[in-house]
Amino acid sequence: MAERKRRQSSRRLVLSILSFTVVILGWYALTSWARMVPPAFLPPPQYIVTDFIRVIGSPYVGNTLIGHTLMSLQIVLGGFFMAILIGIPLGILMGWFKRIEAVVDPLFQLLRPIPPLAWIPLSLLWFGIGLKSKIFVIWLAAFVPCVINSYTAIRLTDPLLVKAALGLGVKKQRDLLWEVAIPSSLPVILGGVRIGLGAAWMTLVAAELLASDAGLGYMMQMARRALEPSVIILCMLIIGILGALMARGLRALEKRICPWVKQEEH
C-alpha cells in the first residue's frame, strides 16, 4: 500500500511538472519564437523573470515586491482568520440548535447573495481607507463558505452516531455536539475553510483598490497605468502560487486532523 502511494505521488508530480513545462514552452513559442502575440498583450516568460529580478529588491510604486506581498498576506490572513473564528461557530450553532437557526438564517439568507464587492462603499464609510476596510471585504468573501459548510455538515450528522452516543450514556445536547457532531463533521467544515481561502484570494485585488498604497492588487493597478503587462502577470502568478501553497497546507492539516478520511488521489 505504501509503495503504491509513493508511485501515485511520483506520477502526479511528474504530470504536474510536465503540464507546467508544456504551458511555459507554448507561451514562449507564441510570444518569442513565432511572435504571434505582441508583448504589449502577452509578454514572453523571460520578461516576467526580468521584472521579478528588478522589483524583488528595488522599490516599485513605493515598496519592493516582498513588501507588497507581505501587505497582501496581512489583508488576506486577517479577513480569512476572522471568517474562521466567526463563520464556523455560527454555522455549527445554526445547524445544531433550531432556535438559533430560526433567528439567524433569515438574515443570513438575505445577506448571502450580496457580492462582497458590493460592500466596498459601505466599508469605506464605516472603516475609512485603511486596512480595516480591506480586511472587512475579505472577511465577507470567506465568511459565507465557512458558515454554509459548517451548517450543512452539522445538519448531516449521521443519526446512527447520535443513537450510539445516546446508548453509551451521552445525554446532554452540548456533549452530543462536542463529542459526536463536530468530530464527524470536520472534513466538510475544513472543506468550507478551503473554499473560503480561495474566495479570499479572489477578492484581494478588488479589495486593494480601496485607496491603497501597497499590496499586490495596488501593484497591478499601477502596472496597468504604466502599461507594464509583465508586472501584472508577475503579481497574478504570485497570488496563484501563494493561494495554492496555502490550500496545500490546509489539505495537509485536514489529513492530520481527520486521518480516518480517505484521501483520494486525483
The dihedral of CA 159, 156, 253, 105: what is its sign?
A: negative
Could you give the domains of the chain? 67-257 (1.10.3720.10)
Model confidence at 265: pLDDT above 60: no
Determine the residue type at 67. G
Residue with cell 486577517: 78
205's grid cell:
485585488
Structure confidence at residue 266 as a pLDDT band (50, 70, 90): very low
Residue 236 has pLDDT above 90, yes or no: yes
Q: What is the dihedral of CA 122, 124, 126, 129, to 10 degrees?
A: 170
Average confidence (pLDDT) over 56-65: 88
pLDDT digits (tens, 9 = 90+) for 73-126: 999 999 999 999 999 999 999 999 999 999 999 999 999 999 998 998 899 889
Q: Are the beta carbons of 234 and 51 closer than 8 angstroms?
A: yes
The pLDDT of 50-54, averaged and rounded, is: 92
Residue 228: its pLDDT value, please?
92
Please classify residue 40 by burial: count the beta carbons closer than 10 Å to its beta carbon, then call 0-12 exposed, 13-18 middle and 19+ buried: exposed
